[in-house]
Structure 1
Amino acid sequence: MSGRVIPGRTSDLLTLQVAGALWAGLTADSAVPTASTVLVSPLGSAQTGYVLLGSHVVMAVKANDGRWSISESEVRRAAAGLRAVKMDPQDLVRIGPFGGVPKLEHSEAALLGWRRRIVGELQRPDPPEQVVQDGDDRAVHLAGIDWHRVLTQQSHDRTGQTWWLPRAVVRLLDAAEHVERRWLQTGQKSSKAAEVIRPRSPHRQIHTTENLQATKPDHPTVPLRPYNEELKGLLYSVLSRKPNTSRKVAEWICVLCRKAPATVLDHCHEHGYVRAPLCQSCNTQERPDHLYPNDIRVTDRYTRLFTTHATEWLSHWHRCPGCRTRTTLPLPHLAAWTAYVACRPLRPTHRDTHSSRGRKPCGTLRAAWTGSHHTPHTCQLTVTVDFCPSGEHRDLAKVPYRQATEQFRIWLAETAPTVAAAAGPDRVDDLPTQFRPVIPETSDKDLGLF
C-alpha cells in the first residue's frame, strides 16, 4: 500500500508551513491549547537553527534553496508529549506582576525569561488581541502553547490586577525553558570545539539526519540529578553571592514534584537558611499570597499543603534548622495554617445550591499578624473572612503566637509523626555553626532558640 504524499515533503523533512499544519492537527485535542502558526511566526522562526514545540527542541535543516525544514517524526514526538499533559484549569499559579515593569531579554531564544515576556506583553499599551491582528504572534504563543487562551486575570482593590496560568502550563513552559537553555549551552560549546578542531566549511549548509540525532537536545549531556542535602545548613545570603549558583541549581531536579528542573533555591526568610532547590511552579505554590507584608490571603492551594501533601511540605519547611528546632513554621505559613486548620470550626458556611453536600465554607480566609516571631509574647494572629454574605471582613479569631505554635506542635505529631520526631530543641546535632546559628536555649526569654 502506497503512503500518502504530503506536498513540500522530502523524506522525513517537512517545510515549516506543512509541519505547522501537522502540529496544529496533532494537538487539536490536547488539554493544553496550541497555536496554529507556531512555525511561521517570528517567535517560532527557525533562523536560529531550532524550534521549540512544547518542551521539545527540534532542529531545523536549511536546504540549498534557503528554505528551512524540520523532521516529521520529531514533530509527532513533540505533539505526543504535549497531548500526554493533563491540565486542571482551576489549579492556577500566579505569574505576575511581582514588582515593576519587567525588563525583556534581548535574546534570540524563544523562552528564556518567559514570565517576563508574558507580563511585558500584558503591560503593553496595545492589548494582545490587537497585536495579533497586526501580525505579531509573539503575544499569543510560547513554544507552540497558546497561553493567552488559558490566562486568568484577577483584580482586587488591594493587590491590583494579577495574571495566572494553570500549573500544568507553567511546568511545561519551565521545562521548555530549561531544555532550551541546555540546548543553547550545548550549541555554544559544540561551536567552540568545532572551531578548535577544524574550520567550518563554507559549502556545508545541510545538516544530515545523523547529525540531528547525535545532537538531539532531549538527551542532555548532563542529566538532572536528585538533591541529596548538599546545601544543608547553608545560608542563602552566602550562596546567592557566589558565581554560577543558578547554573548549579539547574542541575538538580525539583525536590517536591520530582518532574521539572530546579530553577530557584527556596529558603526560609525568617532564619535565612536554604531549604532545597525547587522548580518555579512549586516555589510559587510554597510562597504565601501576600496582600501586605503582614497580611496574606489563604487560597485553596493550601488544601494540598496541609492535607493530602502535608508530610511532604512539612518535611520541606523543616529543612530550615530554625523552624525544625522550634517545631514551628515561618510566620506567614503558621498564620495560614492557623486560619485553614486551627480555625476551621469557626469558619461560617452557607447553602451550596450547586452541590449535593448541602453547605460550603463561606468567603475567603485572610490571616494577618502584629509583631514578629522575635517577640512571641506580643505577636498575635488575626483570622478574618472576606467576601462573606453575612458580613464582610468578619473576624473569626485572634490567636496569640505561642498558642498557635503549641496547637501546631500537637497537630504535627498527629499528622506527620516522622517530621515531628525529627524536630525539637533536643535535635541539635546537625545544626550549622555559621552566622545566625539556631541553638538550644533553656531560659524563659522570648528569644529562646533564636
Structure 2
Amino acid sequence: MRLDLEDLVDVQLPVFRDIPELDPEEWSQPDWRRKLVSWMFGQARRKAQEGRPYEEWDESWKQIGPNGLPGDLTWEEFVAASSQHRHSQNIAGTRPLQLLTWSGDAWLLPRAYTELLDRWEQREGELLTKARLCSCGAQGPYWGAWRRNTRTGYVTMCPPCSVVACRPYTGHMRGVLYESPRRRNTRADDYLCRLCNENPAAAWDHCHDHGYLRGPLCGSCNTREGKASPDWFLQDAGSVLHLLECRDCREQRTLPRRFHTGVVLAHLEQTERHPRCRRKPYARELEYVHGVHRFELDCGWHTTGRWTKDVTVAEAAAHVRAFVDASLALQEGATTAASRLESGKA
C-alpha cells in the first residue's frame, strides 16, 4: 500500500494494564494499540527483573521515560527484542515498529497505516463475534470454547446443544483394542467427550502402552492428554480415572510411562522440604540414567535452597501404584456415597 511518511497521526496508546487487571475476555481481543503497549511494558519488565532476585523486584519498569518507553528500555533494545519474536510480534501480518516514531510527546504512525490497522481490528472483531454465535442464538465465550469439529466441519455449538446432538459415553467400548474392527465401525463423534462432557468427541483416545481404548475425546481434551505436562494433567481426578479406562493399566495398577515422572514430581513436591524453608519446592526432572531418575528441587526462596533427589524405576513404579490405588479408592467412595443417597431417596 502507498504510504505518505509525512502524513503522521498520534497513535494515542492506552494506559498500560497488567493481565490481572483485565477482564479475561480482553486478553486476546483485537486491539492493536493495546498490543503495542503490551510489547513495550513486557520488554521493560523483563529487562528490569532479569538477573535480580525476586525480593528486589519493584514497579520502576512501569514509569515512562523521556523516550516514550517504560523503565530503562531503549528503542534499540525494544526493536532487537521484537526482531527475536517476529512470528508473534506482528499485527495484521505487518511490522508496526518499522514505522513507529516518537515525536518527544507522542507516538506517531502514518495515517493510512493506522486506518488499515483500525479496519483490521473491526473486521477481526466481527468475525470473532460470528464465531461465538451458536445456532440457538446463544453467544459463547471469547476464547472459542464452543467451536466444535463435526462431520461437516467446524461449527459453534453451546454445551446444551452438544448434549442434545451427541450421546453420553457409557463405557461400552472398555476392553476393546484400538486396532479392533469394532472401533473402526463405531464413530467417536456420535458421543460427547468423556472428559469435559461438553464438546462432541473427535477421536477415540487409547493407551499407547497397551493399545486399549479409553473413550471418546474432543480435540482439545485429546491434545491435552497427549501433550500437556503430565503432572498438570494428573491434577484432575477425572483425568486419572480416564487413563485407568485402559484394562491393563487398571489391572496392573499403573499408568502410561509418560505419566510416571508426573506422579513422582507431585510426590516429591508434597514430601520434600529444604531444611531452612517450609515452603513446597518446585521439582523438575534433570536426567534418566541407568534406571535412575534424577530430579532437581528448588524452594525458590533461598539461594542455597536447591538440591537433587534420585528415584529408581522401582521406586517410581511404587509411587505410581500408590497414586492409582488412592484414585480408585476415591472413586469407590464417591460411588458408594451416591448409591446410599439414591437408596435414601427411594
TM-score (norm 2): 0.49
Q: Which protein has the bigger helix share?
A: 2
Relative to the length of structure 1, the TM-score reads 0.39
Greater RCO (Cα-Cα under 8 Å, separation 6 or more): 1
